[in-house]
Structure formats: structure tokens, C-alpha cells
Amino acid sequence: MKKFINRVDDFLSESLAGFAAAHADLVELNNEPVYVRRKAATPGKVALISGGGSGHEPLHSGFVGYGMLDAACPGQVFTSPTPDQMMAAAKAVDTGAGVLFIVKNYSGDLMNFEMAAEMCEVPNATVLVNDDVAVENSSYTTGRRGVAGTVIVEKLVGSFAESGANLEQCKAFGEHVVKRIASMGVAFSSCTVPAARKPTFTLGDDEIEIGVGIHGEPGRRRARIEPADAIVDELLTAIVDELKPDASTPLLVLVNGLGGTPLSELYLLFNSATAWLRQRGLTIGRVQVGSLTTSLEMAGASLTLCSLDDEMMRHWDSPVHTPALRWGR
């Protein structure tokens, strides 16, 4: 196992300490229980909290800040955080309007967030993200997995909350957004969970996993490496079959790297996606290219489309100031 690491047990705490020190203008790290919170709260705003297993950085801690999350609760690598983390974070960031939990659909996350929601003294609601169209049910999931589309949910609902919406409205808007997002990914390599010390799965020299999950869960099929255009065709066909956007709907296109794939290849994928969408008369409204929801050092990428309406477009464009996404202020 080749990683920048000292002791396996300290990987998460050292990485989080570095993250918090590098972004001390924006975030604060709490230990025992572990959560990352925004330094400058917006008073009276519904507070947004997400979390999940670590190893998907910058998700979620990198999206704590103005216009997105108020707190993130990181679990150990690929392991759900525990309810005490969510409860402590909720208490810390609530300014009276309650908290909205944004949860990726994995059984462990769901159970722990549900327990936190029940025990939490702060009024709360939950939005479940399940954008991965690759498979129904999976290793750690009943129903679809939540993957890179989560970033879009956090951005749009984060902006919506900044605009003064109440808890009920934030939940309803979040559920509206989730229905309009679909994603699918492909892996060129496995990743290695530090505590496991060996790759989660193995792929042959010319093999890829189409529809892979962000923890290395099996996808739809294992294939020989294919040209980028063929991979994009398979992913976008599945995504568009699900969303069925019409020609006039502006699509937000997110090309997401899984951790070990360089920007040059992600831009090539976007170029291929552009051609595919245009051939079908579909409209690209907004674009985001980068490694935002990763699987440790996994080589690969996912594509996400989000059917924007006017309100969603406005909330995508609105200012955001977090460690990993920043524009407009």
C-alpha cells in the first residue's frame, strides 16, 4: 500500500487536521465527536448538515462554507459517521431554524442519520440522495446509491437555504432537485482502504468496471477498456433514459474524477459528452469538471446530468465560498 500516511489509525485525523488548518478562514474542526463546521454562520438560516464515510474528499468537508453546508460529519474511510457526530454538529450550527440532513443512500448512513434525527433536540428533516442509475440495490444499499450528484444537491439547497427558506421548504426543494439528477461512473482501478491495506477489488490490465459505486461496489458489467466515446455513450444513455430531458431543458453537466484520474482526461470526457448531447439535440446549460466526489485514489470518472429549471439555475449560479467550490464572492 503506497499512500502518504503515518499510522493507519491516524489517517483520518491527520488529514482532517491538515484540511482544517489549510482552510482556517472558512471552517473549524471539532474533535470528540468529529465534525467540521462553518466559521461564519448565517443567523436564522436553516442549517445544512451532510456526512458519510471518508475517502470521498472533497465531499463533504470541502463543501462547508457560505452557500453550501453548515457542517459535515466524516466517518472513518468508507464507514458511516455515528449519531453523536450529527447530533453535536446539529446543536453547534442550529441558529433556530432547524437543520436539514443531506444523506447519501447507503444503509449505514441512513440508519445512523435516522437515529440522530430521532434523538436530536433540534428540529430537523432529511433529504436522501440516490442519483446513481447504474444499479438498483447494491453491496451497502437498498435502492440506488448516492454519488456525485450529492454535490449539486448541496449547492442548490445550500443557496436556497441562504435565501431564507424554512425547513419544510428546504426539504421539499431538496427532494425536487434529487429527482432531476442522475449519475453513473466507471472505474479503471480499485482503491485501497488504509485499514484493509489491500485493494477493495481487482481489475485486469485491460479491464474496467462500468457502473462502479464510489466504494468500489460492482456496477453493471466488467468490460475491456473502450474508447472514451463508447464509455460516454453507455453512461449518458443510462442517465438520459432515466431523466428524459427535453431539448429545451438546460442540463448541468458534471464530469467527476474518482481520485486517480487527471484533469486532462476529465476534459476529454466533457468534450465527448458535449458531442453526444448535441447530437441528440440536448442543451448544455452549465458545466462543472473536477474531482469532487472521489473514491480515494481510484482511477475513473462519473458523469452526472441535472435537469435545471429557472430556480435551480439561479441557485447554481449564486455565490458560494467553500474550500472546494468558490465563485461569485
270 touches a second copy by CB under 8 A: yes
11 touches a second copy by CB under 8 A: yes
Q: Which residue in the set 90, 103, 269, 282 belongs to the binding site for a second copy (CB under 8 A)?
A: 269
The residue among 38 and 56 lying less far from a second copy, judged by its C-beta, is 56
The whole-angstrom separation of Cα 269 and Cα 243 is 20
225 touches a second copy by CB under 8 A: yes
271 touches a second copy by CB under 8 A: yes
Q: Which residue in the set 62, 67, 146, 213 belongs to the binding site for a second copy (CB under 8 A)?
A: 62
The whole-angstrom separation of Cα 285 and Cα 306 is 10
Helices (H) and strands (E) in the chain, counts: 8, 14
Q: Give the E-state strand segments of the chain in sequence order.
A: 27-30, 35-38, 47-54, 71-77, 99-104, 124-129, 181-187, 207-210, 221-224, 250-257, 283-290, 300-307, 320-321, 326-327
23 is catalytic: no
294 touches a second copy by CB under 8 A: yes
22 touches a second copy by CB under 8 A: yes
The residue among 17 and 119 lying less far from a second copy, judged by its C-beta, is 17
Residue 156 CB, shortest distance to a second copy, in Å, is 20
21 touches a second copy by CB under 8 A: yes
Radius of gyration of the chain measured on its C-alpha atoms:
19
56 is catalytic: yes
> Residues near 280 by Cβ (< 8 Å), separated by ≥ 6?
240
Between CA 246 and CA 252, with CA 251 as vertex, the angle to 5 degrees is 165
19 touches a second copy by CB under 8 A: yes
Residue 106 CB, shortest distance to a second copy, in Å, is 19
What single string gives the DSSP state of each residue in 144-188? PPP-THHHHHHHHHHHHHHTT--HHHHHHHHHHHHTTEEEEEEES
319 touches a second copy by CB under 8 A: no
The residue among 105 and 322 lying less far from a second copy, judged by its C-beta, is 322
End-to-end CA distance of the chain: 41
267 touches a second copy by CB under 8 A: yes
Residue 14 CB, shortest distance to a second copy, in Å, is 5
Q: How many residues bind a second copy (CB under 8 A)?
A: 55
75 touches a second copy by CB under 8 A: no
Q: Which residue in the set 188, 210, 216, 322 belongs to the binding site for a second copy (CB under 8 A)?
A: 188
In the three-class reduction of DSSP (H, G, I as helix; E, B as strand; rest coil), residue 76 is classed as strand
Listed residue (187, 113, 177, 116) closest to 150, CA to CA: 177
Residue 38 burial (10 A CB sphere; 0-12, 13-18, 19+) = buried
Which spans of this chain sit near a second copy (rule: CB under 8 A)?
2-7, 11, 14-19, 21-22, 54-55, 57-58, 62, 188-189, 205-206, 208, 225, 227-229, 231, 259-272, 274, 287, 289, 291, 294, 296-297, 299, 301, 326-327
Point out the residues that are catalytic. Answer: 56, 215
